[in-house]
Chains A and B, each alone.
Chain A
Amino acid sequence: MSEQERPDFEALVDEHQSMVFSLALRMTADRGLAEEIAQDVFLELDRCLGQLESAEHVLYWLRRVTMSRSTDALRRRKTRRFDQWVEMEDAHGALEAEPASPLGVRMEALLATLPEAQREALILRYQEDLSPEEIAQTLAAPVATVKSHLQRGLKMLRAKAASSLGEFIRKKGPVPISNGAGWEGAGGES
C-alpha cells in the first residue's frame, strides 16, 4: 500500500479493536491478558502497516497475529479452567457494556475448557464466520487438521454441554441405518 492509500491507524483501531479483543478474550478467558494482547497486536500493526496490501490483508493479519499472540500467552501461563459459569462471571467482574446471556457465558466457560487447538478453530468459525479453508490460512495449518479440530471440538463441546447444560444437546441429521451385515457393513453401507 502506498502512503496515500494506507488507512489511518486510528481508524483501524476503531474498526478492529472489538474483533482483536474478543479473539484474545475467548482464547485466554482473561480480560486483563486479552487487553494486553490487543495492545501488543495493534502496536505490531503500526510497525507492519506498510507491508500490508489491502483492507482484507489487514483483517487476515490481525486475526493471524492475535491468535498467535494468544497461544503464546497461554503457553507462558497456566490457563484457568472454568467448570461453572458462575466462576466465569466472577472472574470477569463488572458488568459488560452488553451483558452476556447466562447461556452465552456458560458456553464461553465450556469453550475455555477445550484444548487450545480446538478452541482456536471454533472461535474463528463461530465468532468470525470463517470457513475451514480460511481458518487454515489464518492458522497456517492443513485444512484437514482444521476440520478435525472443528469436528472434535464441537463434539466435545456438545458432550460437555449435555452434562452441564442438559437441554442444549441436539445432534444434526439422522443416524446412519445399518444394513445388519457384519464385516460388509463396517464399510459397505451407503
Chain B
Amino acid sequence: MKLKIVSLILGVVAMVQVGAAQNVAQLLPAQLEKDLAARASEVTEVTLTKSMLGFAAKFMDGKRHDDAAVKQLIEGLDGIYVREYEFDKPGQYGPEVVEQVRQAVSTSEWVPLVREQDRKHGETTEVLMKVVNGENRGMFILEAEPRELTIVLILGPVKMEDLGKLKHLSGLGALGAVSGAQHAAHGTHTGGSK
C-alpha cells in the first residue's frame, strides 16, 4: 500500500483558492515531446481526456477481472496525461525540460507532498496534489533520472487507495516479487501493505 503518500494526502491543509482550469493535453509543448521521443530508446505516451475516459469506461463491462476496479478508479477523472521516456545514455534531456513541466503545476493549489533531489545521482522526485476547497482534485508525479523521465498528471479526484489496490492489474505480473527484490537489494523494509 502506498501508505506514506496516502497519509500525506490526508494530512494536507485545505486550500481556498480555485486555480485556473488545467488542460491535460498541454503539459509539454508538442515539439518538445517529439524531440524527447526521438531521442528516447523507449517511449510511453498516453493522453486521455474526460470524454475518452468515459468512452473507455463503457467497455469495462466486467469481462476482465480488473474492469470494475479500473472503472471505479477513473470514474470522475477529468484527464490522465502520462509521458515516460527511457534513454540509452544520460544527457538526452536538459533541466529546462523539467522546469517547463514544473511550471504547469506551480500554481498555489498544487501542494508538494514529496520533493527529493539526489544531487549525487542526478535524480529528482516530486509528488504534488491539487487541492481545491479541501478536496483532492489531481495528482502530479515527476521522476527525473539521468536516463529516465516520467511525468504523470491526473486531473480530478484521484482515489489513492484504489490505485494501490491495482498492483495486480492485468499485465503487471507479480509486482510484489519485483519490489521485494528491490527492497532486499536496498536493505529496506516496506512499511505497511501495498
Contacts and interface: CB of A to CB of B under 8 A. Distances in A.
A183 B116 CA distance: 11
A93 interface: no
Contacts of A162: 181, 184-185
| Interface hub of A114, A148, A182, A186 (most chain B Cβ within 10 A) | A186
A184 B117 CA distance: 12
Contacts of B121: 178, 185
Contacts of B92: 187
A102 to B, nearest CB: 20
Contact of A186 (B95, B172, B173): B95
| Interface hub of B41, B117, B145, B181 (most chain A Cβ within 10 A) | B181
Interface of A: 81, 113-117, 144, 147-148, 151, 156, 159-160, 162-164, 176, 178-190
A114 to B, nearest CB: 6
A115 B44 CA distance: 16
A180 B120 contact: yes
A82 to B, nearest CB: 11
B43 A144 contact: yes
Interface of B: 40-44, 86, 89-95, 97-99, 117, 119-124, 144-147, 171-174, 177-178, 180-182, 184-185
Contacts of B120: 178, 180
Task: Give the interface SS of chain A, mostly helix, strand, loop or mixed.
Answer: helix
A189 B120 CA distance: 12
A151 B86 contact: yes
14 contacts: A151-B42, A160-B174, A162-B181, A176-B146, A182-B119, A183-B117, A183-B124, A184-B95, A186-B98, A186-B123, A186-B124, A187-B97, A187-B144, A190-B90
Contact of B178 (A117, A156, A178): A156
A176 B119 contact: no
Nearest to B95: A183
B184 A185 contact: no
Contacts of A179: 122
A148 B42 contact: yes
